[in-house]
Amino acid sequence: MRIQRNTIITLVVFIFIAALLIIFESRANFPDPDSFYHAKMATIIRDQGFIETFPWFQWTDLKNTYVNPHLLYHVLLIPFVTVFNPLVGIKISAVIFGLLAFLAIYLAARSFKAPHPWLFPLAAALSQSFIFRMSLPRAPALSVVVLIMATWAMMKKRTKTLFFVSIIFAWLYHGWPIIFLSLGALFVADFLTSTINREKSFWHLFKKTISRQKENIAATSAGILAGMVINPYFPENIAFSVLDIFKIGVVNYQSLLPVGQEWFPISLGGFLTGCFPALLVTGLTLAFFVPGLISNKKIPPFDQTVSIFTFLFLAGGYSVLCFKANRYVEYAVPFMVLEAAVLMPFTISFWQQELWPVLNEVLKKGRIKKIAIITLLSITILGLAAGAIQTTTGSNDYYQAKQYEPATEWIKNHVPAGENVFHNSWDYSLILWYLDDTHYYLAGLDPTFMYDYNKEDYESWWKLSTGEDKDVSKIIYLFKARVVIIDKRFGTAETFGKNLITSGLFEKVVENEWLEVYADTTL
């Protein structure tokens, strides 16, 4: 009966998570323009194979050498963008890939023999910041799946699995270096557990730790190396990784450039509210861990202690990284709940022996109290879900193709193919490119690509776009563009538009509530 009940609860939990993801994807807009890029790249690979240049962004090095760091992700998208409209297909893929991330949490928790393993994906799903990241029509959800698989394989000494998962990670996602954080956390956890259990010299324990972890180190390193070398973009992908991973991901020019919102730090309040259910579950299991040990009257075995420390280091480390870039919440939350999962076998005994009898005695005194507690829990879960839905779907009407279609339609009808289009932000160029790949744009994907290509031209573009530089003739002779698109989201859009009209070089040809298009008067 208990097995059947747990199966039913697990099924209900995943139906609930699926419903949340479907609601998120039912919104008309996309949370960011990157989804347009991924949908378009999947169709390009389907129709043209692996492209090696990206001529559409003329003020970046991508026009000469292009490396696709999401290669496998784009290949996996091909069935979705083929069977459905690409923008619909990528939303459907987001639901499926998001569910896989929660399934990975569930299976990992169950493999560590956590009681009630459905609790951990549920806690993660009710954490607003995490489920938002998992609902993105992008690669983060699959990266969580692969990272959990890799970390599990390290802990379980499944070196063959680890090797192949490492290859997959290198093909799937440009964030693959984080796999070495799991390896490092496991190594430190192993060494720390050794020092607790044995009184021997530092170097002796260090060598023993290396001996125990050498297969994990070799499998991970060999897998990543194989994924980089057995790659249609080798060897250019090595140099590209320095820019894409180090400069964008590690250095992070947020103080110099208008980078994407995911690269800005999270506030303490945002972290606590966005991760509250995961923090609560983890906090409770940590609080009951020592009483649970006393109740069990035994110390966890070596491997379990290593697992506890590993997940603790990863959860803590990624939580700290959230205050550098809020996107790291997509890794902080899974390792929080998996920390709770490995602790649960020890805390459950304290709960069953000390707390449950007291609660059960209270519940026996009245059916109304039991109903009240169940109702309260249900309202809490539904309230958290409603909050996540409101935060995700009710805050923004950007980004939609229909907002930019009037601009790209006018350009396609009036501007010769192959000409440059000037735009006042790097982000929405991905939508312009999705709608019109017959023209070229300045930059996209990240402003670092333009900044790294030519700092002086980047500064000129930025000052023109913000209205600080009134010499808009530079748009024609420096950037070789005869048409300008201004997105009205930015407070400087009005000033920029006035500079264009005042110059006498441009006239307004298209306008809606979201954008304005100005064309050279000679067109």
Residue 128 lies in a domain: yes
Residues 189, 331 within the same domain: yes
Residues 389 and 333 in one domain: yes
Q: Identify whether residues 432 and 367 lie together within a single domain.
A: no
374 shares its domain with 485: no
Is residue 111 in a domain? yes
The amino acid at residue 268 is: L
Q: Return the beta strands (E) in 463-512 as ranges.
A: 481-487, 506-511
pLDDT of the residue at 182: 97
Domain boundary among 363, 393, 423: 393
Is 7 domain-assigned? yes
512: burial class by Cβ within 10 Å (0-12, 13-18, 19+)? middle
**148 touches 105 (CB < 8 A):** yes
Count of domains observed in the chain: 2
Using CA atoms, how far residue 451 sits from 444, 457, 490, in Å, is: 11, 8, 20
* pLDDT value, residue 1: 47
CA–CA gap between residue 455 and residue 101 (Å, rounded):
39
293 phi and psi, to 5 degrees? -65, -40
Q: Is residue 41 part of a domain?
A: no
Range of the domain at 82: 2-30+67-393
Alpha-carbon distance of 502 to 505, in angstroms, equals 8
Together in a domain, 434 and 357: no
User: Which of these, 209, 184, 213, lies nearest to 196 by C-alpha position?
Assistant: 209
Residue 308: predicted pLDDT: 94
| Predicted TM-score (pTM) above 0.95 | no
In a domain, 103, yes or no: yes
Same domain for 366 and 417, yes or no, is no
Residue count of the chain, please give it.
Answer: 523
For residue 225, tell me if it sits in a domain.
yes
Q: Tell whether 351 and 407 lie within a shared domain.
A: no
Sign of the Cα pseudo-torsion (418, 423, 426, 428, in order): negative
Q: Which among 393, 427, 459 is the end of a domain?
A: 393
Looking at residue 296, its pLDDT comes to 64
Do residues 429 and 340 share a domain? no
- In sequence order, what are the residues at sequence separation of 6 or more whose Cβ sits closer than 8 angstroms to the Cβ of residue 500? 472, 484, 506, 508, 518
Q: What would the two tokens of residue 394 be?
A: 């009710």
Q: 121, 105 in Cβ contact below 8 A?
A: yes
What are phi and psi for residue 184, nearest 5 degrees? -65, -40
Same domain, 131 and 112: yes
- Among 342, 370, 393, the domain boundary falls at 393
Per-residue pLDDT of the chain (523 residues; tens, 9 = 90+): 456 888 899 999 999 999 999 999 988 889 889 999 999 999 999 999 999 999 999 999 899 889 999 999 999 999 999 999 999 999 999 999 999 999 999 999 999 999 889 999 999 999 999 999 999 999 999 999 999 999 999 999 999 999 999 999 999 998 899 999 999 999 999 999 988 866 567 788 888 889 899 999 999 999 999 999 999 999 988 888 766 666 665 656 655 666 667 878 899 999 999 999 999 999 988 888 766 666 666 678 888 899 999 999 999 999 999 998 899 999 999 999 999 999 988 887 666 665 555 555 555 655 655 565 566 666 777 776 676 676 666 656 678 999 999 999 999 999 999 999 999 999 999 999 999 999 999 999 888 889 889 999 999 999 999 999 999 999 999 999 999 999 998 889 999 999 999 999 999 999 999 999 999 988 7
Distance CA 323, CA 332 (A): 11
pLDDT at 299: 74
Taking the alpha carbons of 364, 369, 373, 375 in that order, is the dihedral positive or negative? Answer: positive
For 126, 262, 336, the CA distances from 60, given in Å and listed in that order, are: 40, 22, 39
Do 354 and 492 fall into the same domain? no
| 23 and 79 fall within a common domain | yes
Q: Is 333 helix (H, G, I), strand (E, B) or coil?
A: helix
In a domain, 60, yes or no: no
Vertex 428: Cα angle to 327 and 87 (nearest 5) = 80
Assess if residue 45 is contained within a domain.
no
Domain match, 289 and 431 both: no
Closest CA to 310 of 282, 289, 339: 339
